[in-house]
Every structure is written in structure tokens, then in C-alpha cells.
């Protein structure tokens, strides 16, 4: 720990709270006594290096110091971004739209970003209030902005915040216009951030930026509602939860504008709350996250449960399941991806062109759906920064509850437009006496049952993940669920036309698959498992599901033991 470096940071910190926080830690670290060792360790972590800026922007725990999310880091990052944008535009003033969610610090960070862009000679357009990430992504394209900044940590724990960057306007003009940044832009921006001098030299005007009015959100709502042709919405009772996030107002308005007015919002989770008091993790994928929604759904006899994550870019769906303990079954991201993919494929097939895309860790079912409709399918790396920039895209998804159903408007996952499209499909099926589960059965009979399941290994020390991946490269599984591994693909070599990424793929003789990769945003090693079971008769579906589920459980046990975390 370099005491002078810590003191220098404190003198430049524009936030009295984090400056005081660091001052107290420094005093404890240098005073000796039982608290000194712990304080020194904390300072060493906070000053172990800058919070890394990459294609996911910034994401980290709130607190003082360069390795935390705070005002000083946001100001420095935005100064670097402004310099890079100006350079890309040949000296012209960049246009940047800035949004923010309701997490701790988000509004202040967004205002700081607007001040830095203004002070650098750019035009900053600040969203009028807290709002969903998809609205910001929509605004980037709608306002022809050169960049967009969204202050959010999405579904991360309450202690975190983040800073996501979109590029468009005059900076990106191809199919990636309005999408999240990719390499080499991330490294170039990171270099400009590193080149920012003393923080006190960064101009921070107290005004001069534009605060957008509510019309930009109203335009987004109208666009989402247009995804349901007039008169196509049928009677449907929906339970909705924004998971203590910022999605409720926009999602309910979009559903209503599309014709779905019988919507019941989970009261305990309706208002934005950065403490996320009713959930252990504010992520619809986590066990128990939808318990309150299921309880309300039982009370009001709902037809459908829809949940957004806190910044509303993800969408989870659950359907009635009589005879089960909860009475509801949460669909997997792959199941919803198949349903929305089928819906998009039917529309695209009319015109005879369009591309469906999914990430490498998502189910292979979407590719079969695309082929059956005479459409092209593309596999991309994980993340919507890759999916959304596929040329000719009409629909894209990844298994982590992310769906892009309207790429012409939003080049990112959008949990609100996905919710509206799921509601449309469910309402049309109810009208015919059918269900979403029935459509999944039809897809299984046509293309084979594709069952997927995750195995997530959360760690407290991310340094153990690298050695675990290396052990797998040196001695991976020879068989999975009783079937020999016939092909191993190391994605770090850029196999199958994909850019290099840290991941391993194992394919078995039976056709099952396991993919193992480190999480890009959280301290996790993730395994994505898929079992494929041929089935051609309706009455054989239950047995096929049991067989696939047993193999998935066996793969989980085998890989968990092999990885050893």
C-alpha cells in the first residue's frame, strides 16, 4: 500500500463521502492495532489497479478508490470516452445520450457524465428520470447519438453499480449502430482513460446539458406497442414484477398500449428500491426470485407471469403448472428464446429473408427452427454486443433471459418488448385453447427435445477460475452422462468462425453438449448443459423429458466434481 497514492486520490476525490471513507481506512491502516491489517488489506484491494474498462464498460462494487465504482472513476472514464469520441469524429463535437437506473449513486454518476461531456465541448442529453436500459438503447438510435451511456449494474447485487457504453451515430454506421461497443474500441477508450491527467483538471460545468423530456420514453412505448398489430391482443391476465427495478411504469404502459390491460403488479416489488429487500439477488434466474409473483398469480388466477430484472433488459416468463408445489413453471431462457424465435421466423418467412441469431452457449434449437423456415441462423459469442450486430437480424437471444425482438429500434436485449411479444403469443394461444407449453411440445416433436440447464460455480476469489480452466484444458471429461466426448473445442483458439474467447465446448456421441466459461460480469464459472432427445410421438414426450433431465443432472454432478470449485 502506497500511502502517498492514497492521499493523492483523496485530495482529488470530488465526493466527500468516499473521500472520508478512504481517510478513515488510511487512518486505521497507519495507526496500528487490531484493525490495521484489515484496513491495509482493504486499501490494497481498492488501489490494486483501476476498475477495468472493457466491452461491458465498467462494473464493480461501490466505494472509494480506483478499483471501485465512484464519482472519480465515472468522471475519469467519461473524460476518456469524450476524448476518444472527439478523435473518432475528427474534432467534431460528440452527441451523447445518458440514462440511469435507481441504484445507489446512479443519478449522481449520470449527472457527472453529462457535465464531463458538456465540459469537453460535446452535446450531452440526459434522460429525464430513472428508466430502463432498453429506453436508453432506443434513444441512441432515435436521437442519432454518437454514443450512449447507461449507468446500471443490471441484475448484480445491491453493492454494485456500472457504466455501459453504446456506440452509434457518426461513430458506428454498420449493422452495429446503436449496439454496445466491441473491440478494439474498448481498448482504445481504455487508453484514453489512462491518459486523463489530474481529475481536478477535468472541466465540470454545473449546467449546459440538455435534460430530455418524457417524449423519448413515450416514443419507445409506442414503438413497443406497435409490435402487436392493432386488434390482435386477446384477453389475458398477467402478473408482472419489476424486481424492485425501474421497469414497472414503462412495461405496464407498453402492455396497455398493446392491448393488455389486465396486469397485476407485485406490490412488494413495484417501486424502485436499490436495497432489493425481498430478494437475495435481484435476478429472475435466481431460485426464489419469483415467489411473490407466483403467490399473486395464484390469488388472481393469472394466465401468465412476467418478470424483468432491475434495469428491464431481461425478461423471465412463467406459466401455470397444475399439480406442482408452486402451481407455476418458470420457462428457461432457451424455451422463451425458442418461442419468440418461432414467432419471429413465421413473420420473416413471409418476406423470405431474415437472420435468427443466438449465443454459442444457447440451445441449438433456434438453428433448427430457422432452417425449417428457410432462414439463416448465426451463432455468436456470448453477449448482445455480438448478437445485435448480426447483419439482417430479425431476432436474437441468449439463454440468460435476453431477447432482441425489434433490432431496428433497439440493438440490445430488451425485456419490455420481449414481454409484449410473449403476451401476444400467449393471448393468441389462449384464444385457441392452447398454451406456450403446447408450442414447446410441438417444437420438440418437430426438432427433437432440447433440454438445457445451467451449473453455476460462484467463487469468492476470481483468481481460482483461471487455473480451473487450465486444468480442464489439460484433462477434460472423457465422457458425459455415459456418452463418450467425441469433440472438444477450445474457444480461445477462435474455433468455428468465432473470435477467440475463454471457453471450452464438449460434444458427446449422443449429441449432448457442455460449454464451460468464466462469467464476464460476475465471480462465477458457468457451465451450460444441453441434452437432445429424439422424440416423434406425443405420448413419448414425458419419458423423453425424464431421460434428458436425468442426463443433465448426471452432467452437473460429473462436471462439478471434475472442476473442483
Q: For the chain, 565 residues long, give each residue's pLDDT as a single digit of tens.
A: 799 999 999 999 999 999 999 999 999 999 877 889 999 999 999 999 999 998 889 999 999 999 999 999 999 999 999 999 999 999 999 999 999 999 999 999 999 999 999 999 999 999 999 999 999 999 999 999 999 999 999 999 999 999 999 999 999 999 999 999 999 999 999 999 999 999 999 999 999 999 999 999 999 999 999 999 988 888 899 999 999 999 999 999 999 999 999 999 999 999 999 999 999 989 999 999 999 999 999 999 999 999 999 999 999 999 999 888 778 999 999 999 999 999 999 999 988 889 999 999 999 999 999 999 999 999 999 999 999 999 999 999 999 999 999 999 999 999 999 999 999 999 999 888 899 999 999 999 999 999 999 999 988 888 899 999 999 999 999 999 999 999 999 999 887 788 899 999 999 999 999 999 998 767 889 999 999 999 999 999 999 999 999 999 999 999 999 998 7
Q: How would you label 405-426 residue by residue, b for 16+ Cβ within 10 Å and e otherwise?
A: bbbebbbbbbbbbbbbbbbbbb
Is 154 catalytic? The answer is yes
The catalytically annotated residue of 154, 362, 363, 417 is 154
Residue 314's nearest CA partner among 290, 295, 333, 328 is: 333
Three-state secondary-structure class, residue 529: strand
Measured distance CA(119)–CA(395) in Å, rounded: 39
Angle between helices 133-142 and 415-431 (to 10 degrees): 110
The DSSP 8-state label assigned to residue 492 in this structure reads G
CA-derived radius of gyration, the chain:
24
Cell numbers given for 297: 398469480
Residue 505's nearest CA partner among 464, 497, 456, 495 is: 495
The DSSP 8-state label assigned to residue 331 in this structure reads P
Angle between helices 465-474 and 541-563 (to 10 degrees): 110
Cell numbers given for 457: 460455480
CB 332 within 8 A of CB 351: no
| DSSP-derived pairing of the beta strands 160-167 and 147-151 | antiparallel
Residue 277's nearest CA partner among 318, 311, 245, 315 is: 245
Residue 100's nearest CA partner among 133, 140, 67 is: 133
The pLDDT score that the predictor gives to residue 458 is: 87
CB 242 within 8 A of CB 306: no
Three-state secondary-structure class, residue 164: strand
Measured distance CA(102)–CA(273) in Å, rounded: 7
Amino acid at each position: 500500500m502506497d500511502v502517498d497514492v492514497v492521499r493523492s486520490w483523496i485530495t482529488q476525490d470530488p465526493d466527500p463521502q468516499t473521500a472520508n471513507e478512504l481517510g478513515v481506512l488510511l487512518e486505521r491502516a497507519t495507526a496500528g492495532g487490531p484493525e490495521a491489517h484489515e484496513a491495509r488489506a482493504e486499501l490494497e484491494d481498492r488501489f490494486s489497479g483501476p476498475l477495468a474498462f472493457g466491452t461491458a464498460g465498467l462494473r464493480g462494487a461501490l466505494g472509494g478508490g480506483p478499483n471501485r465504482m465512484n464519482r472519480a472513476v465515472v468522471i475519469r472514464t467519461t473524460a476518456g470516452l469524450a476524448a476518444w469520441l472527439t478523435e473518432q469524429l475528427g474534432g467534431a463535437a460528440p452527441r451523447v445520450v445518458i440514462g440511469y437506473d435507481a441504484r445507489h449513486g446512479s443519478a449522481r454518476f449520470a449527472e457527472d457524465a453529462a457535465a464531463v461531456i458538456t465540459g469537453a465541448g460535446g452535446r450531452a442529453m440526459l434522460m429525464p428520470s430513472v428508466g430502463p436500459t432498453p429506453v436508453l438503447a432506443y434513444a441512441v438510435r432515435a436521437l442519432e447519438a454518437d454514443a450512449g451511456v447507461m449507468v446500471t449494474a443490471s441484475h448484480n447485487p445491491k453493492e454494485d453499480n456500472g457504466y455501459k457504453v453504446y456506440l452509434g451515430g457518426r461513430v458506428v454506421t454498420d449493422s452495429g449502430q446503436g449496439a454496445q461497443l466491441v473491440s478494439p474500441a474498448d481498448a482504445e477508450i481504455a487508453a484514453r482513460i489512462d491518459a486523463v491527467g489530474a481529475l481536478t483538471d477535468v472541466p465540470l460545468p454545473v449546467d449546459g446539458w440538455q435534460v430530455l423530456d418524457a417524449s423519448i420514453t413515450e416514443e419507445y412505448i409506442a414503438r413497443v406497442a406497435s409490435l402487436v398489430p392493432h386488434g390482435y391482443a386477446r384477453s389475458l391476465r398477467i402478473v408482472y414484477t419489476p424486481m424492485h427495478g425501474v421497469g414497472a411504469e414503462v412495461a405496464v404502459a407498453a402492455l396497455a398500449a398493446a392491448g393488455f390491460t389486465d396486469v397485476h403488479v407485485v406490490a412488494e416489488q413495484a417501486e424502485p428500491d436499490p436495497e432489493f429487500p425481498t430478494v437475495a439477488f435481484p435476478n429472475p434466474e435466481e431460485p426464489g426470485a419469483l415467489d411473490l409473483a407466483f403467490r399473486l398469480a395464484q390469488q388472481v388466477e393469472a394466465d401468465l407471469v412476467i418478470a424483468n430484472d432491475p434495469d428491464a433488459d431481461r425478461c423471465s416468463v412463467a406459466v401455470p403448472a397444475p399439480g406442482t408445489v408452486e402451481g407455476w413453471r418458470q420457462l428457461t431462457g432457451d424455451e422463451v428464446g425458442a418461442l419468440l424465435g418461432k414467432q419471429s421466423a413465421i413473420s420473416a418467412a413471409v418476406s423470405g429473408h431474415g437472420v435468427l441469431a443466438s449465443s454459442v452457449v444457447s440451445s441449438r434449437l433456434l438453428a433448427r427452427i430457422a432452417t425449417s423456415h428457410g432462414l439463416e441462423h448465426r451463432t455468436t459469442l456470448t453477449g448482445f454486443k455480438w448478437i445485435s450486430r448480426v447483419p439482417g437480424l430479425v431476432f436474437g437471444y441468449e439463454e440468460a433471459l435476453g431477447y432482441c425482438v425489434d433490432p431496428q429500434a433497439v440493438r440490445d436485449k430488451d425485456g419490455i418488448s420481449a414481454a409484449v411479444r410473449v403476451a401476444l403469443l400467449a393471448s393468441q394461444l389462449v384464444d385457441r385453447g392452447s398454451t406456450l407449453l403446447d408450442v414447446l411440445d410441438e417444437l420438440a416433436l418437430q426438432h427433437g427435445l432440447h433440454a438445457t440447464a445451467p451449473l453455476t460455480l460462484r467463487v469468492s476469489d476470481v483468481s481460482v477460475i483461471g487455473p480451473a480452466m487450465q486444468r480442464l484444458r489439460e484433462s477434460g471429461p472423457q465422457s458425459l452422462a455415459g456418452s463418450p466426448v467425441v469433440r472438444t473445442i477450445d474457444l480461445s483458439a477462435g474455433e468455428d468462425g468465432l473470435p477467440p474467447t475463454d471457453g471450452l465446448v464438449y460434444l458427446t456421441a449422443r449429441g449432448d453438449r457442455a460449454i464451460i466459461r468464466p462469467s464476464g460480469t460476475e465471480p462465477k464459472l458457468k457451465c451450460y448443459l444441453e441434452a437432445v432427445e429424439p422424440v416423434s410421438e406425443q405420448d413419448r414426450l414425458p419419458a423423453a423429458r425424464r431421460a434428458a433431465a436425468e442426463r443433465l443432472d448426471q452432467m452437473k454432478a460429473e462436471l462439478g466434481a471434475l472442476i473442483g470449485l
